Amino acid sequence: MSTFIGGGTSPITNGILTTNATLSRPSGLALYRGEVYLVDSARILKVNNHNNSLTIIADVNAMLNNPFGICLNDEGEIFIVERASHVVRKILTNGTIIVFAGIVNQQGYSGDGGLAVNAALNWPYDVACDLKTGDVYISDNENQLIRKVFKNGTITTIAGSRSGGTTQDGSLATQTVINRPMMMSLSSNGNLYFTSNICTIRKISTNQTISTVAGDGQNNNYRKNDILATLVTLDVPFGVDEGPFGELYIAETYLSAIRKVSPNGIISKIAGTFQSGVSLNTVLDASKAQITDPYDVIVDPSTGIVYFSEYSSDVKRVAKLEPYCTFPFELINGTCTYSCYGIGYDDARVCAGHGICLSNNTCQCESGWKGNNQCSLPSCELLNNCTGNGMCISNNTCECNSKWKHIDCSISICIPYLNLNSQLQCSQDLNSQLLTFNELQSNINLNPINLNENQQITFILGNNFTNNLENSKYFISSSISQSNLQFYSNVTNLVLQNSNSTFIQLQLSNSIQFHFKNIDIELSSFNYTCLRYDYLLNRWTNESISTIIDLSVNEITCSTNYLSTSIVIQRYRIIEVVPSKSNVIPKVSNSNGGTVVNPKESNRGIISHAIRLVGSTTLTVVIMMIFNIL
C-alpha cells in the first residue's frame, strides 16, 4: 500500500506531482482509460499517468455545491453528483458544465418517463456510467430509489418503491424497499452494486431482481473474516466496485478497512487493521497498515490496482493497493495462490494426490511416488529402487526378478538341491531342480501355504523370533528338491536365509514336525529312518531327529529342533543294514536298487556363516505334506 495522491504540503496547481499535493476533502473516484479522476471538495482532478501529475478539470469557479459521486462515459464526458443542489451535472469534453438531471436547488420526487432535467431528485449520492449503452444510474438517496437516465435523456426508476413493498432477496427491484442507496458500481456484465444506509451491499441483476451480497444488516458480527460476506456486519460501507475477476471491493468507512468479497462469497480484509490510524509510507502488507475513514474505492481492471480515498482530520489522500503476493503465492485471477500443473495448491487432487505443491508447478512427492514432478508414478526409493533386481509396481512395492527375493529384491535366492553325492547345494535355477517353492519374508504369513495340490505347510512363530535375528534381512523358504532315486522320498526343505544368501541354522526349543502321509510301509522287510541335513557339518545325519511310524494311517513323522533343516526318509532292507555308532549314515541300498553315498568332509563349505541360538527362541513350525512316493 502506498500514497497515490496527497500527503504533500503544496497547494494544487496544474502539473503538480500527485504526492506533493495537499488535498482538501477527497471523496468520489472514477477511472477512465487507466487514469484516475477524483472529487476533492469543489474540485475535479485528473491524474496523468505518464508523469504522475495532476490536472484540474473543474474548480471552485464552476460553483460546484458539495460534489460527491463521479463517473465518465465512453466519450470522456464527466458526470458529477452535486448533492446540496439536488442535481447531476455533466462536464462536456470542451469543458462546459451543464445540468444533466434534476432541478437546481429543488428537492423532491418527480419526472419518471420524462426528461431527466425536468425530474426532481432528493439529495442524490452517486452516479454510475454504462460505457456500453451510454445510460447513467443515479442513487436518489432521500427518495430511497435508484434511477436511470437513458442516453436520450429520459429518466425512470429501476429500484426501490415509494409505495411500500418487500425487502426480500429475489424480488423485482422495483417492488423492493431499499434504504437510502449511496455509492454504486456497474460491473462489466451489467450488474449494478450499491451500498445502503442499513450497512449492506446489494446487487441488481440484469433480470431486474435484487439480492444481498455482503452485510447482514445486524449489529453484532463485526470484524469477521474468511466467512460468507452475508454473515458479516459491515460498519457503514460507502464505496464499492467490482474487480476484473468478479471480486467485490468495499470501503468500510467506520471500521477503517478495505474488504474484498471473492466470487465464492467469502469476505476478507485486504487493507487496514479495523483501527483508525495513518500509514503514509509504503507498507508491503496492506492488511497490517492503518487507514482512516476510507470513502470511495475503484479498481483498475487492466492491472488489478485498487484505489481508495481517505478523508479525516488526520489524513486526506488517495491510497493505492497494488496486488502483492509472498512466495510461493502468485497473483492468479486477482487472488494470491499457486498451482501445480493446473491444479490449485490446496486441492486434494494436486500432485496426483501423492504430494505437496510447494510452488508453481513444483511438487514434493510423498514417499513411493515420482514422475514428471507430478507424483503420478510409483517409486521405490525407500527400497533402493528394487536394487536393480526387480520392478517397482506400486509405491514402495517391488516385484522381484525370478532369482531375487526380499522386500527390496536384495537377496539372491538359494534353493537347496541334491547333487550326485547326496549333498545339498545352493542353486538359483528355479525350474530344473525345484518342484515347488514358497517364500515368507519378515512379515510371516500365519495362514497355511499350499506348495502344490497335495502338500500344505502351516507356520506358528513365537513373538521374539525376529528379535533373535537382530532385525537383519531374512526370509524363510520352503521347497521340495528331487532326490533322483537316491532316497526313498524327495527332500523337503525349510530354510532360514539371510541377506548374504547364507542359510542360518537355529536350534529351537520346540520341534518342527514333517508328516509324510499315505506311505506304503513294510516293516517286515524295511527299516524307515528320518534323516536331516546338518548345514553346519554339511552332511546327512540321524542325530537330533526322531522317526515315528503310525501304521494305522500309513504315516511317518520326522521331528527335529533345527531350522534351517532338510528332511528325507531313507528306506533300506533290514538284512543289509549294519548299524553304525557314528551319526553319519553309511552306504546303503535303497528300495529301488540305488546307492546312497555319505558326503565327504572335503565337500563341506557351501554354508559358511551360520548361527546357533539355544533355548530362548520360541518357534513352532508344523508342516503337513503328502508325497507321491518314489
Mark whether 70 and 187 lie in a shared domain: yes
- Residue 558 near residue 567 (C-beta atoms within 8 A): yes
Q: What is the CATH number of the domain that holds 376?
A: 2.10.25.10
Cα(437)–Cα(429) distance, integer angstroms: 12
**Cell 445510460, residue?**
135
Cα(285)–Cα(590) distance, integer angstroms: 94
Residue 382: what are its φ and ψ, rounded to 5°?
Answer: -70, -15
Please check whether residue 242 lies inside any domain of the structure. Answer: yes
Cα(532)–Cα(518) distance, integer angstroms: 21
H or E segment and range at residue 467? helix 465-468
Mark whether 388 and 288 lie in a shared domain: no
Alpha carbon separation from 445 to 397, 449, 460, 473, 476 (Å, rounded): 17, 8, 9, 16, 11
Cα(36)–Cα(47) distance, integer angstroms: 5
Mark whether 191 and 294 lie in a shared domain: yes
Residues 6+ apart with CB under 8 A from 554: 517, 518, 519, 520, 521
Alpha carbon separation from 101 to 68, 112, 129, 130, 195 (Å, rounded): 15, 11, 14, 16, 21
Selection from 113, 179, 198 nearest residue 147 by Cα: 113
pLDDT digits (tens, 9 = 90+) for 389-407: 999 988 888 998 877 877 7
Mark whether 123 and 82 lie in a shared domain: yes
DSSP assigned state of 233 = P
HEC profile for 320-371?
EECCCCCCCCEEECCEEECEECCEECCCCCHHHHCEEEEECCEEEECCCEEC
Mark whether 140 and 257 lie in a shared domain: yes
Final residue of a domain: which of 324, 346, 366?
324
Cα(571)–Cα(335) distance, integer angstroms: 86
Please check whether residue 10 lies inside any domain of the structure. Answer: no
In this predicted structure, what is the pLDDT of residue 475? 67
Please check whether residue 393 lies inside any domain of the structure. Answer: yes
pLDDT digits (tens, 9 = 90+) for 8-66: 999 999 999 999 999 999 999 999 999 999 999 889 999 999 999 999 998 866 667 88
- Residue 57 near residue 86 (C-beta atoms within 8 A): no
Cα(590)–Cα(573) distance, integer angstroms: 8
- Residue 35 near residue 46 (C-beta atoms within 8 A): yes
Cα(600)–Cα(618) distance, integer angstroms: 34
In this predicted structure, what is the pLDDT of residue 593? 35
What is the extent of the structural domain holding 129?
Answer: 63-324
Mark whether 345 and 221 lie in a shared domain: no
Q: What is the mean pLDDT of the chain?
A: 81
Please check whether residue 77 lies inside any domain of the structure. Answer: yes
Cα(421)–Cα(74) distance, integer angstroms: 105
Beta-sheet pairing, 595-596 with 588-589? antiparallel
Cβ count within 10 A of residue 367: 13
In this predicted structure, what is the pLDDT of residue 382? 84
Q: Report the DSSP beta bridge partners of residue 247.
A: none
Please indicate whether residue 575 or residue 91 has the higher confidence score (pLDDT): 91
Mark whether 308 and 355 lie in a shared domain: no
DSSP assigned state of 468 = H
Please check whether residue 183 lies inside any domain of the structure. Answer: yes
CB-neighbour burial class of residue 467 (10 A; exposed 0-12, middle 13-18, buried 19+): exposed
In this predicted structure, what is the pLDDT of residue 214? 96
- Residue 4 near residue 37 (C-beta atoms within 8 A): no
Model confidence band, residue 139 (pLDDT cutoffs 50, 70, 90)? very high
Residue 234 pLDDT greater than 80, yes or no:
yes
Please check whether residue 224 lies inside any domain of the structure. Answer: yes
Mark whether 104 and 183 lie in a shared domain: yes
In this predicted structure, what is the pLDDT of residue 431? 52
Residue 500 pLDDT greater than 80, yes or no:
no
Cα(566)–Cα(571) distance, integer angstroms: 17
Selection from 327, 502, 478 nearest residue 411 by Cα: 502
**Residue type present at position 30:** A
Selection from 46, 45, 86, 38 nearest residue 65 by Cα: 86
Cβ count within 10 A of residue 6: 25
**Cell 504540503, residue?**
9
- Residue 38 near residue 54 (C-beta atoms within 8 A): no
Residue 478: what are its φ and ψ, rounded to 5°?
Answer: -125, 135
Cα(71)–Cα(310) distance, integer angstroms: 18
Report residue 130 as a C-alpha cell. Answer: 454504462
Final residue of a domain: which of 354, 388, 411?
411
Final residue of a domain: which of 411, 443, 468?
411
In this predicted structure, what is the pLDDT of residue 284? 84
Residue 42: what are its φ and ψ, rounded to 5°?
Answer: -100, 20
In this predicted structure, what is the pLDDT of residue 558? 86
Please check whether residue 379 lies inside any domain of the structure. Answer: yes
Residue 510 pLDDT greater than 80, yes or no:
no
Model confidence band, residue 327 (pLDDT cutoffs 50, 70, 90)? confident
pLDDT digits (tens, 9 = 90+) for 184-216: 999 999 999 999 988 999 999 999 999 999 998
Mark whether 264 and 351 lie in a shared domain: no
Alpha carbon separation from 567 to 492, 505, 511, 564, 625 (Å, rounded): 5, 14, 13, 10, 12
- Residue 461 near residue 570 (C-beta atoms within 8 A): no
Selection from 387, 327, 388, 396 nearest residue 365 by Cα: 396
Residue 623: what are its φ and ψ, rounded to 5°?
Answer: -120, 120
In this predicted structure, what is the pLDDT of residue 601? 35
Residue 248 pLDDT greater than 70, yes or no:
yes
Residue 359 pLDDT greater than 90, yes or no:
no
Mark whether 358 and 317 lie in a shared domain: no
pTM: 0.60
Mark whether 192 and 268 lie in a shared domain: yes
Q: What is the CATH number of the domain that holds 313?
A: 2.120.10.30
Q: How many domains does the chain have?
A: 3
Please indicate whether residue 516 or residue 606 has the higher confidence score (pLDDT): 516
CB-neighbour burial class of residue 140 (10 A; exposed 0-12, middle 13-18, buried 19+): buried
Please check whether residue 469 lies inside any domain of the structure. Answer: no
Q: Name the 3-class secondary structure at 174.
A: helix
Alpha carbon separation from 362 to 125, 324, 332, 353, 354 (Å, rounded): 50, 21, 16, 14, 13
Report residue 434 as a C-alpha cell. Answer: 525345484
Report residue 601 as a C-alpha cell. Answer: 568332509
Residues 6+ apart with CB under 8 A from 625: 451, 454, 455, 456, 457, 492, 514, 515, 516, 517
Mark whether 221 and 343 lie in a shared domain: no
